[in-house]
Amino acid sequence: MSDEQTVREEITACYRYSAGLGLNELSSGNLSCRYEDGMLISPSGASEANIAPERIVRVSLDGDWEGDVKPSSEWRMHAEIYRQHERAQAVVHTHSDHCVALSSHNEPLPGFHYLVGSFGGDDVPCVPYSTFGTETLAHDAASALKDRNACLLGNHGMICRAGNLKAAVELAQRLEIMCRQYLLARQYGEPDRLTRAQWDEFFDRARKVSYGRYI
């Protein structure tokens, strides 16, 4: 396990990087890493301008935190994902443009492209809207990630889990790209979906090459 200061610096760097990609704007979105029996998470009101290692908050999975800086209001969602998914070591939540656009229709991202499979299945689910920071949202999001590594949050954004923070940010970026491409394709009519046979062939192939690290 990395020391706490290293993890704080990594969260800060990844927050700035994701903001530079346009995944988080103003004070939206949050990042965390599992740490010991809790987590380290970006603070409430975090932005590219004010994020810093000393402002990253150490929080227990029950919501007890240290210091004067409050954790992100979405700490429950991160904590529930860590509770339900032992392999999750990092969580990224964003309000990126095209994820929000698709989530506002409360629709899953369908399997229109084989790279949808990089999220673990033939679609990316969308959970119903719940007020931010609530136990309901936390439970719904964590449950949706049972057999996926990302999901859309209805009328809200997206969240994903991964084995490290860099991989989680990459998943968030990939989902934003896929939502953008799907919405673009839909301007010309509903795009075709891959068939069950095509998905079976994809997952068989993916386990043998580099895509296996996503699945």
The pLDDT value recorded for residue 12 is: 98
Per-residue confidence (pLDDT) for residue 1, from 0 to 100: 58
Find where tokens 């990395």 sit: 2
Number of domains in the chain: 1
Q: List, in order, residues 6 or more apart from 98 with CB less than 8 Å away.
A: 176, 179, 180, 183
Question: Domain limits at 174?
Answer: 4-213
CATH of the domain at 107: 3.40.225.10
Q: Where does the pLDDT of residue 150 fall: very low under 50, low under 70, confident under 90, or very high at 90 and above?
A: very high
DSSP 111-177: SSSGGGGGGTSSSB-EEPP--TT-HHHHHHHHHHTSS-SEEEETTTEEEEEESSHHHHHHHHHHHHH
What global pTM score does this model have?
A: 0.94
Give tens-digit pLDDT for 89-130.
Answer: 999 999 999 999 999 999 999 999 999 999 999 999 999 999
Average pLDDT of the residues in 22-48 = 95
Q: Is 136 or 28 the better-scoring residue by pLDDT? A: 136
Choose among 112, 127, 79: nearest CA to 182.
Answer: 112
Please give the average per-residue pLDDT across 167-189, as a whole number: 98
Catalytic residue among 10, 74, 80, 176: 74
Compute the mean pLDDT over every residue in the chain, rounded to the nearest whole number. 95
74 catalytic residue (yes or no): yes
Q: What's the mean pLDDT in 26-48?
A: 95
Mutual angle of helices 75-84 and 135-144, in 10-degree steps: 40
Residue 214 has pLDDT above 50, yes or no: no
What tokens were used for 114? 């084989």
Q: Averaged over 45-53, what is the pLDDT? A: 94
- Mean pLDDT value across residues 80-97: 98
* CB-based contacts of 187-192 (< 8 A; 24+ apart in sequence): 191/110, 191/112, 192/112
For residue 164, give both structure tokens.
Answer: 């490290």
Higher pLDDT, 190 or 67: 190
* 212 residue type, one letter: G
